[in-house]
Amino acid sequence: MIDTAQLEKNLEALEGRIARACARAGRREADVQLVAVSKLHPPEVLRRAYACGIRHFGENYAQELRDKQAALADLPGIRWHAIGPVQTKNAKYIAKAAHVFHALEKLEIAAELSKRRTGEPLDCLVEVNVAREASKAGIDHGEVAAFVEQVRALPNLKVTGLMTMPPLTEDPEAARLPFRALHALGQRLGLRELSMGSTHDFEVAIEEGATLVRVGTALFGERPA
């Protein structure tokens, strides 16, 4: 389990890489939010990350998010991002615990989140299958506008942006065109937030307009088995 000293070192290196990517793109660092992907890391590791200044945490599994949100409810200003797909039966956990949902792609999930959400609206990002990979989740880019309008008709949800997962390759540059396409789509639809980029390719994502980068391994190291 990673200690605070190593977390501080990793975070400093990560923030430096983000700053340099922003400089290359002529962007402000303040316009890029790091979401620390904490999947499978125990709550005590998240407490250490919080002590280092991290406030945004991303969880892939609805029930793990539910449990961590409860365990760390004493930490002021912590923000929870649900970044993985969710089944209808588990949408209630996202609706209660998350501040942002990054993987909205089905109207029935949107309806369930809307029904279960109380308080401030849940910020939602529509997942787009930019590369049209058969194995990937997400909506075809040609169907996004209509989907966004359907979701906007539901109470308690707010569509704030788009998310994509590019084809998995060893070369981060291979993600540039999908990221660029998502940026262009977001601009056409008037959606500012773009969730794209992970440990492997977040610098390319920033150069192409990402506002939310989901980074786990570069911060926490390898996930526990």
What's the pLDDT at 169? 86
Q: What share of the chain is helix, strand, coil (3-state, %, to 5)?
A: 45, 20, 35
Q: Is residue 199 within 8 Å of residue 190, measured between CB atoms? A: no
Among residues 207, 181, 112, 204, the alpha carbon closest in space to that of 151 is found at: 112
The token duo for 217 is: 């391994």
Note down pLDDT in tens along the chain; length 225 residues: 899 999 999 999 999 999 999 999 999 999 999 999 999 999 999 999 999 999 999 999 999 999 999 999 999 999 999 999 999 999 999 999 999 999 999 999 999 999 999 999 999 999 999 877 776 789 998 999 999 999 999 999 999 999 999 988 889 999 999 999 999 999 999 999 999 999 999 999 999 999 999 999 999 998 887
**Which is the CATH superfamily of the domain at 4-220?**
Alanine racemase (3.20.20.10)
Map out the domains of the chain as residue ranges. 4-220
Radius of gyration of the chain (CA): 17
Q: Quote the pTM value.
A: 0.96
